[in-house]
Structure 1
Amino acid sequence: QFNIQYYMVALLFVVFDIETVLIFPWTVIYRSALEQGASLATILTPMLLFIGVLVIGLVWAWRNGAVKWVKSPQANRRKTERQA
């Protein structure tokens, strides 16, 4: 059995990994869209909103302790044994 924190970190990794996959095509067409006359606001607004939602999600996860690794009681015992 694994600690639930392992699954939380894995889930966050998958979310931000998919973010990278979704940002890559946007970066590829960015220059060609500018050359075709699209305005900078038209190109940047959707991506900034997308990144903003992800940042809000990361802040929420951070505040709720999803990215904070909890030490096991065994690790705490080993630490106190070394200090004694």
Structure 2
Amino acid sequence: MSRKRKNVPTFANEAEERAFWENHDSSDYVDWSKSQRVTLPNLKPTTQSISLRLPISLLESIKIAANSRDVPYQSLIKIWLNEKVHEVH
């Protein structure tokens, strides 16, 4: 038998909603047994800038490879890193 759920209040802003959920159990408000997995294909992944020192000759080779593929060299580095990570797993 399912239990009676509380109604989720209306919030004035995101900060108020965040404060509410920090102090309340969502299972009192949401029946998680009826939840479904969703995909959000248009979300951009969070990124972080890093500093990477490369030999000038290696960087120039990467730039030449990127130019021949008509992509920015930073994008090509990300593509290659991603391919290598997935190759290992």
Short-chain TM bin: under 0.3
Larger Rg: 2
TM-score, normalised by the number of residues in structure 2: 0.23
Give the helix-richer structure, 1 or 2.
1
TM-score, normalised by the number of residues in structure 1: 0.24
Question: Which protein has greater RCO, CA pairs closer than 8 Å, 6+ apart?
Answer: 1
